[in-house]
Amino acid sequence: MTLVSSIGIVVNTYVLYALVKKEGLLSIFYKLCISKTICNLITCAAFLMWSAPCTFLNFYYLPYWGNIFWGQIAGWGAYITEGCGYIYSIEIVSWLPENSECAIRHADQIFYFILLVAIVSNSSNLATFVKLMEVTRKRSFMSNSGNFSKKGRLMFAQSVTQDCLHMIDMLACQVIYKFNDALWFQFICMSVVWLTIHVFDGLVRERFGLMP
């Protein structure tokens, strides 16, 4: 976890710096990229500063409220109600909701919300992409039409890829983890996938989002 989270911090820090340093006014797309990159940094930092040290030491170096706090950081504040916390368990080396009906219900709600967002977002992206290709075929643009359509395709690919990455994360920690009770499998589904997704998300943004 230490290595992967460190790589994630380096990659996303570079992406954030490159996005902020872009010349001219930033479009809504780039502002959204900046916001998501900051979220990636926060999650990677939670793994590096809480999960990894606690696992290595085999004890929590802060009281229980510390676990709740880092759960808030890692979960971007999604779990905000008392008794509905998101905590890290040394025993299973994984993040999971607190053992309460409220926390479990909240986790399910987040899963379905992200699923809905992914469906709506990708449907919108697909409609935009189809329209872009149609306009390009009709050659209604000037001489820069080829460059514009290429940029549009790259933005489409980036958006779809990132939406799919986060859906994979939610499927792993909400559905796939139930397929096997082995500790190593739970660790992969509940921690490794979650952390790795934020590293890949930064790499995707570096590959597509920083292009002129």
Q: Give the position of tokens 């230490």.
A: 2
Confidence (pLDDT) at 54: 93
What is the C-alpha to C-alpha distance for residues 12 and 200, in angstroms, rounded to an integer? 10
What is the C-alpha to C-alpha distance for residues 199 and 45, in angstroms, rounded to an integer? 12
What is the C-alpha to C-alpha distance for residues 187 and 95, in angstroms, rounded to an integer? 9
Domain count for the chain, please give it: 1
- Residue 73: phi, psi to the nearest 5? -65, -50
Confidence (pLDDT) at 163: 74
Residues 6+ apart with CB under 8 A from 13: 41
What is the C-alpha to C-alpha distance for residues 107 and 38, in angstroms, rounded to an integer? 22
Each residue's pLDDT, cut to its tens digit, for the chain (212 residues) gives 788 889 989 988 988 888 888 776 667 777 878 888 888 898 899 999 999 999 999 999 999 888 888 888 887 566 666 677 788 889 888 888 888 788 778 777 777 887 787 788 777 777 777 776 676 666 554 445 455 556 666 777 777 777 778 778 878 877 888 888 888 888 888 888 888 888 888 888 777 666 55
User: What is the CA 195 to chain-centroid distance, rounded?
Assistant: 8
Domain with 150, as residue range(s), is 2-209
Confidence (pLDDT) at 96: 81
- Residue 22: phi, psi to the nearest 5? -60, 140
What is the C-alpha to C-alpha distance for residues 5 and 52, in angstroms, rounded to an integer? 9
- Answering whether pTM is above 0.95, one says no
Q: Degrees (nearest 5) of the Cα angle 25, 28, 32? A: 115
Helix (H) or strand (E) holding 153: helix 145-174
Strand stretches in the chain, DSSP E = 86-89, 94-97
